[in-house]
Structure 1
Amino acid sequence: MTFIRTHLMITATLAVGCLVLILLGVGQGGAAQLLASVFAGCAAISRGAAMIRDMVHGRWGVDLLAVTAIVSTIVVGEYIASLIVVLMLSGGTALEKYASGRAQAELTALLNRAPQSAHREGRGGVLADIAVREVAVGDILLIRPAEVVPVDGRLLSTAASFDESAITGESLPVELGQGDGILSGSLNGPVAVQMEATATADDSQYSRIVALVQGAASSRAPVVRLADRYAVPFTLLSLVIAGVAWLLSGDALRFAEVLVVATPCPLLIAAPVAFLGGMSRSARNGIIVKSGGTLEQLAKVATVVFDKTGTLTQGRPTLEEVRVAANSRGFPNADELLVLAASAEQYSSHVLASSVVNAALNRGLSLTHAKEAVEHATDGVSALVGDHWVVVGKRSFVSQNTGLVPEPELTGGQLAVYVGADSRYLGALIMSDPLRENAVETLASLRDLGVAHTLMVTGDALSTAEHIAGQAGISQVRAGCRPADKVTIVRGVLQRPVMMVGDGINDAPVLAAADVGVAMGAKGSTAASESAHVVIMVDDLSKVASAVRIGKDTVRIAVQSIWIGILLSLGLMLFAAAGLIPAVAGALSQELVDLATIFNALRALKWGERSSARASARVHYSPPHQLVQK
């Protein structure tokens, strides 16, 4: 029943076809012809009305050829052929709709993540839970640990740590002090804090991101169907051949015989079948392509824009180097310094602390339980580890406890965690969010596929962005970008189509605004995945190049299939023009053309599968490090 409701025209055509066969079986040929002709005529009128509306707006497509074929077969009495054309037309439309139907819930994840209530502090410190829309400027709010900030505000507590990755894309938490601004959509750290609302929910950063997604999604230009580009020339050529055959033979039947073999079925089904095959192939490779039109855009991508954190980089800080101070006099060595730092960091909730602890554990080092430990908000941690009073954290914090701390030489994208013990500076742990292992190969593959322009847009500082871009081989960098800036940059790119590759809620607007938005869905937010046209389901950047390759393969096969159908149809038309193919035989032979077109289009399902499998086998998935529970 679901099929009947969804594909009413296909069901009706099959039903009429069965009735026609029954009528022919009982010797009611006239009634069969009348039924088929009326039904096909109604289908032609319906399609013709839509065709005229498109023509008024300057769009000439495959419908012109379809309506011409249906009307011609009715006029010459080839009513069986007219039903076949209607069936193929309906089937092609259904395939196309299925291939190009995309999810409409782009804002669901954004709205679900947004808090629905806020904790407002009244007189006497009494808390009341109110709806977010009731928050007014000046209200004092309590943000509990791990809660999302409901509105933009100003921090009233002495210090706090917020994860702003959903807004800025930066993976490291932001340390804020009293009076600093807080962005709605940020995730509070492990300590409850007070804030003063400086904007209502509608005027806050998070709501603006939702509005950006809505505006960008509604501004997309429709993709022209691939077959439409060939429909008008093929129709005109078919009419010319049929007209010449009629003129030279003096027989109107010759005109009909040519048009019978000139049905538009190869054009109607070649591209949808190829696109369905390409989408299926993509899915098997961990790439979800949401529409056939997206595959066509992928094949033509001229510029790829990358986010940095979590896209080109791994999205989590790692230890690069342990630098022991020059005046340490042999204590500690690198491993001993890391053990001291990690043993103290066990008692810190900072994301860098977890990375330090994981680095020590990954090296097989044993940590020591501290006898005492104190976390200093936004600065670091101090702990009694064995017989040593250890301090770990910012340079200013460690220098207060150890005296002068030299500033280490850092390359772009690096940061230092300073370590001291017993009032003496011992060294620094050099941290970074490293480039993905296959980022360079992915950029090289994209260049080999004809993508001439690459660009990085990120919310990070320019020095960090330029360092990562240089490693990856990207020449153009835009740093310090907020979501609105990214949308503006992508819309301003001249070399189109533009593919945007991102991760996180902050990338949702620009993914929706790009010609092709690609979300790294394995790590990214659901909002980014819903806003994107393509979702990478495995944590593998090389799939971006694979998506472009599949798009190019699919479109090439679709075009080949269309040309196979056109050339075979032209050959049959020439034979029919010479009087060598009767109308009934022509209708049957046209179905052979359809089968040849379909079988060739189905190559998109398997094209390059072996090479893709070999490439995938060389990529080893590395799950994110497990954070140590505090």
Structure 2
Amino acid sequence: MKLRPVLLLRRYPYVIATLLVAATAGVILLTPAAPFSPWLLGGFAIVVAARSAWRMVRELRSGTFGVDILAVTAICAAVAVGEYWAALVIVLMLTGGEALEDYAAHRAERDLRALLSRAPQTGHRYADDGTTVEVPINEIAPGDRIMVRPGEIVPVDGTLVSAEGSFDESSITGESLLVDKVAGDEVLSGGVNGAAAVMVQATRAAKDSQYQQIVTLVEAATASKSPIVRLADRYAIPFTLLALAIAGTAWAVSGDAVRFAEVLVVATPCPLIIAAPVAFMAGMSRAARDGVIVKSSATLETFRRAKTFAFDKTGTLTQGEPSLVEVRPEGETDADELLRFAASAEQFSAHVLAAAVLRAARAKGIELWGSHQVEESTAHGVTATIDGRTVVVGKRSFIAAACNTEVAATPLETGEMAVYVAVDGVPAGALVFADQVRQNARSTIASIRSQGIGTVVMLTGDDRATAEHVGTALGVDDIRSNCLPADKVTAVATLTERPVVMVGDGVNDAPVLAAADIGIAMGARGATAASESADVVLLRDDISGVAAALLVGRETVRVALQSIWVGMSLSIGLMCVAAAGLLPAIVGAWLQEAVDVISILWALRATRGSESPVAAATDEGEQMPDEKQLPRGR
């Protein structure tokens, strides 16, 4: 964080004033006006002490113990016994501590706020005469056509009108490569346009678009105070009593009031009030870099105590969309030719299975043929003329009617489904689809278990056979099937090993995410009702973020507590040395400043942490079906 001198003066006036007073007092000591130097030092110290005392009184009135009481007492005691320079060092510690806290928070917040700095503010809307007008993004309405110039951020969600375009969506989905799109494809706000200007038709207003929803989540993530921070505040009471007891005992035993001031000089509780907030902001920053938005720092503290994880199945443990798992040709048609016929016929269909066929053909590098006289029968299939041949793709009954013959059913495992193909009135084979388990679902569950989670539950609306097929393969402890949204809420509410973390993705998961102690939404594709209800949102379509969030939460709390205890232990040790008369006030004041710096640096360790054990782990991506999610045929 770079600060210009004027901004530095405006942001940290008391730090600058303290340094100026110290320099002025030092110069005065070299002049005949030297006797006035203590008055300058003591007067300024008392002014700062009064400021801190007034702030402390306001905190007491709001129900919070004023942790600055030790610093105020130490300043007053140092002035009273004539240790003016020590008093000024304590003032520098107070004002400098505030500045260090501000700087540390901004440093830790840098990655968390990166999305905000990229938020688009304007868009280029097409006018009736074909020209473009730059307008604020809140004036762009659904249906408006906008131009996105090369390198510009897409301002609102929309549909690509231009023939093709390339977009960098790394800040949204985590995909590091440019994503190529064609006319009709969805374009997400927040993505960066490639080398050519494109036309996009808005489908959502700015406030409802993907990027603005992410910005809202980030803003919410920075505006919370965790219970662990309030716990740090409560440490101030016993710490203050201990410090006053040590200082009073030292005074009573030695009979020297200076000893009282020397103890209090090293007892200031800045490590206590700085460490936890800095650590939590650092942890939230670290999570944001991994594509995990934690809405509240209290959530990180709850992760530390979590005992049970519950997962939705479809779209969470599985991909949530059909994938082609096998091509079964018949007769003289080979597998690639069968897939080419099917994909060529389906290329203009909007059906979910048509998209799966096209994805599979593209993945294999199969070039499609042109299709003519295409006719789609809703919920049944597609008929098209391809390379002079009649191709029919769809349900088995649809193929049987087209061929005027019985079509044998292809064997299917639990949860699989099939689409059949006929060429020139002859059955040519079948394409088998299934919903696949996410590639690293198993390693994610293994990772959270390794972090101390004892129970893993799967909640799904699917039938028992399909649920067990997935849950057993992943090593889930408790599989609950045929669950309606209300059943999921009841299931989470009755789990005895708490806190409970629930992971889901869809609108139907919103109630259970809100009911869980921590709700995690797979929100990579937009701000759904699940994202609104959740405490944590995964910006990338990667379930390993669940294990990463748990790891960040536990390590952040550990670092926060460590930084608190490190600061307190060092202060107590210095108090004991000062009580024995071995630590002059001016030296103690500087040592306490060093304790503050150590506490802040320790808290900033939360920005790094350990690498998630799931990061490098990969599964083989078993074919995991979802019979209820995918209807039989069209």
Find the counterpart in structure 1 of residue 42 from structure 2.
33
- For structure 2, the residue ranges without an aligned partner over 5 or more in a row are 29-35, 80-85, 120-140, 143-156, 160-216, 622-634
Distance 1:310 1:3, change over 3 A: farther
Find the counterpart in structure 1 of residue 418 from structure 2.
416
Deviation of 1:591 after TM superposition, in Å, equals: 1.3
Is 1:228 aligned with 2:233? Answer: yes
Please give the alpha-carbon distance, in whole angstroms, between the structure 2 residues aligned to 1:338 and 1:560. 60
Find the counterpart in structure 1 of residue 317 from structure 2.
312
Write out aligned runs for 1:91-490 (5 A): 91=99, 94=102, 223-225=227-229, 227-228=232-233, 230-290=235-295, 292-324=297-329, 330-385=331-386, 389-401=390-402, 402-421=404-423, 425-458=427-460, 463-478=465-480, 490=492
CA offsets 1:589-614 (integer angstroms, 9 cap, x no match): 11122232233333333343xx56x9
Distance 1:35 1:258, change over 3 A: same
Distance 1:550 1:147, change over 3 A: closer
CA offsets 1:340-372 (integer angstroms, 9 cap, x no match): 433332343212012113323433445444453
Please give the alpha-carbon distance, in whole angstroms, between the structure 2 residues aligned to 1:479 and 1:282. 32
Distance 1:41 1:489, change over 3 A: farther
Please give the alpha-carbon distance, in whole angstroms, between the structure 2 residues aligned to 1:95 and 1:22. 24
CA contact (8 A) 1:462 1:479 kept: yes
CA contact (8 A) 1:416 1:429 kept: yes
Deviation of 1:95 after TM superposition, in Å, equals: 7.1
Partner SS, residue 434 of structure 1: strand
Find the counterpart in structure 1 of residue 525 from structure 2.
523
Is 1:561 aligned with 2:563? Answer: yes
Distance 1:40 1:487, change over 3 A: farther
CA offsets 1:397-441 (integer angstroms, 9 cap, x no match): 334444444555433432222334555555432211211111101
Partner SS, residue 12 of structure 2: helix
Distance 1:507 1:390, change over 3 A: same
Is 1:593 aligned with 2:574? Answer: no
CA offsets 1:53-75 (integer angstroms, 9 cap, x no match): 336xxxxxxx4443233234324
Please give the alpha-carbon distance, in whole angstroms, between the structure 1 residues aligned to 2:309 and 2:71. 42
Please give the alpha-carbon distance, in whole angstroms, between the structure 1 residues aligned to 2:508 and 2:374. 36
Find the counterpart in structure 2 of residue 17 from structure 1.
18
Deviation of 1:260 after TM superposition, in Å, equals: 1.5
CA offsets 1:536-589 (integer angstroms, 9 cap, x no match): 344432232122223323322232222222222121111111111122221111
Amino acid aligned to 2:55: S
Please give the alpha-carbon distance, in whole angstroms, between the structure 1 residues aligned to 2:18 and 2:430. 81
Deviation of 1:495 after TM superposition, in Å, equals: 3.3
Distance 1:596 1:361, change over 3 A: closer
Is 1:606 aligned with 2:608? Answer: yes
Amino acid aligned to 1:498: V
Distance 1:616 1:340, change over 3 A: same
CA contact (8 A) 1:51 1:64 kept: yes
Please give the alpha-carbon distance, in whole angstroms, between the structure 1 residues aligned to 2:333 and 2:352. 24
TM norm structure 2: 0.66
Please give the alpha-carbon distance, in whole angstroms, between the structure 1 residues aligned to 2:533 and 2:276. 25
Find the counterpart in structure 1 of residue 124 from structure 2.
none
Write out aligned runs for 1:568-579 (5 A): 568-579=570-581
Partner SS, residue 413 of structure 1: coil
User: Which range is displaced more, 293-302 or 556-565?
Assistant: 293-302
Amino acid aligned to 1:569: S
CA offsets 1:38-96 (integer angstroms, 9 cap, x no match): 332232232233235336xxxxxxx4443233234324426425524542664577579
Identity of aligned residues (%): 46
Find the counterpart in structure 2 of residue 143 from structure 1.
none
CA contact (8 A) 2:109 2:282 kept: no
CA offsets 1:152-194 (integer angstroms, 9 cap, x no match): xxxxxxxxxxxxxxxxxxxxxxxxxxxxxxxxxxxxxxxxxxx
CA contact (8 A) 1:16 1:36 kept: no
Partner SS, residue 319 of structure 2: coil
Please give the alpha-carbon distance, in whole angstroms, between the structure 2 residues aligned to 1:375 and 1:68. 79
CA contact (8 A) 1:339 1:360 kept: yes
CA offsets 1:503-544 (integer angstroms, 9 cap, x no match): 356556655655444344543447755665444344432232
Partner SS, residue 418 of structure 1: strand
CA contact (8 A) 2:233 2:273 kept: no
Write out aligned runs for 1:527-546 (5 A): 532-546=534-548
Distance 1:544 1:289, change over 3 A: same
Please give the alpha-carbon distance, in whole angstroms, between the structure 2 residues aligned to 1:9 and 1:462. 65
CA contact (8 A) 2:225 2:296 kept: no
CA contact (8 A) 1:438 1:541 kept: yes
Distance 1:19 1:444, change over 3 A: same
Distance 1:222 1:341, change over 3 A: same
CA contact (8 A) 1:241 1:573 kept: yes
Partner SS, residue 455 of structure 1: strand
CA contact (8 A) 1:96 1:292 kept: no
Q: 1:53 aligns with which of 62, 73, 78?
A: 62
Distance 1:616 1:426, change over 3 A: same
Please give the alpha-carbon distance, in whole angstroms, between the structure 2 residues aligned to 1:221 and 1:76. 34
Deviation of 1:261 after TM superposition, in Å, equals: 0.9
Find the counterpart in structure 1 of residue 153 from structure 2.
none
RMSD: 4.4
Amino acid aligned to 2:45: A
Deviation of 1:277 after TM superposition, in Å, equals: 3.5
CA offsets 1:370-391 (integer angstroms, 9 cap, x no match): 4533100122112344575443
Partner SS, residue 437 of structure 1: coil
- For structure 1, the residue ranges without an aligned partner over 5 or more in a row are 56-62, 110-130, 133-145, 149-212, 623-630
Partner SS, residue 339 of structure 1: helix
Amino acid aligned to 1:223: P
Find the counterpart in structure 1 of residue 148 from structure 2.
none
Please give the alpha-carbon distance, in whole angstroms, between the structure 1 residues aligned to 2:511 and 2:336. 45
Amino acid aligned to 1:375: E
Please give the alpha-carbon distance, in whole angstroms, between the structure 2 residues aligned to 1:492 and 1:44. 49
Partner SS, residue 354 of structure 1: helix
Q: 2:95 aligns with which of 66, 82, 87?
A: 87
Distance 1:456 1:617, change over 3 A: closer
Please give the alpha-carbon distance, in whole angstroms, between the structure 1 residues aligned to 2:260 and 2:41. 23
CA contact (8 A) 1:418 1:427 kept: yes
CA contact (8 A) 1:457 1:478 kept: yes
